């Protein structure tokens, strides 16, 4: 059961995910979460570093779609100026968001990776579709109300994974 919560890779931030790393795995597209993955949950706009990272992916031919459980207004404000397609109110981990994102990418699931900061939404949903997954350390120390419950459950899952000898960020 825990394999559905186990990401393929633990990364400190999205900046560790390079076009070369993706291409080595046959990945041509990314579905990414927004809040606490790319930017803090309470920041509206992209940072210069995120804009540059997204530009680097685009220049390398890597397609990107944002899938967020947040509102249309929140996701649109971030994504539209960058020309990135998005799925809002995604209801992750349900499969709708991932299927909608795959359609927008026009790629098969074996060519797509999911990047997210939560096991219970981002990773679980992507693993159910057999997508390659990257779990990033959240970019903010604080979370919104619903996410705080998810983090509580995540800590328990992390403890089990650690007992099983699975290396996470802390051991790197």
Total structural domains within the chain: 1
Give residue 6's pLDDT band: very low, low, confident or very high (50, 70, 90).
confident
The neighbour count for residue 27, using CB atoms within 10 Å, is 21
Per residue in 139-165, pLDDT (tens digit) is 766 555 566 666 666 677 667 777 777
For residue 125, what are the domain limits?
2-167
Position 135 in a domain: yes
**How much is the pTM?**
0.84
pLDDT of residue 41: 77
State the pLDDT at residue 158. 65
Domain CATH code at residue 124: 3.40.50.1000
Give domain status of residue 172, yes or no. no
pLDDT of residue 145: 59
| The pLDDT of residue 121 | 86
Would you mind telling me the total number of residues written for the chain in this entry?
A: 172
Is residue 128 scored above 90 in pLDDT? yes
Say if residues 28 and 113 touch (Cβ distance below 8 Å).
no
């Amino acid at each position: 059961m825990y394999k559905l919560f186990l990401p393929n890779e633990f990364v400190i931030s999205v900046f560790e995910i390079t076009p070369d790393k993706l291409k080595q795995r046959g990945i041509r597209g990314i579905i990414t979460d927004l809040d606490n993955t790319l930017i803090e949950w309470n920041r509206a706009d992209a940072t210069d570093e995120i804009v540059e990272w997204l530009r680097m992916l685009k220049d390398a031919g890597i397609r990107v779609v944002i899938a967020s459980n947040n509102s249309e207004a929140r996701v649109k404000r971030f994504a539209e100026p960058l020309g990135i397609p998005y799925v809002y109110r995604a209801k992750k981990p349900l499969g709708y968001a991932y299927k909608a994102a795959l359609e927008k990418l026009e790629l098969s699931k074996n060519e797509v990776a999911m990047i997210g900061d939560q096991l219970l939404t981002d990773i679980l949903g992507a693993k159910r579709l057999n997508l390659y997954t990257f779990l990033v350390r959240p970019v903010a120390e604080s979370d919104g109300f619903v996410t705080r419950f998810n983090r509580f459950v995540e800590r328990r899952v992390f403890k089990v994974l650690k007992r099983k000898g699975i290396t996470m960020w802390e051991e790197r």
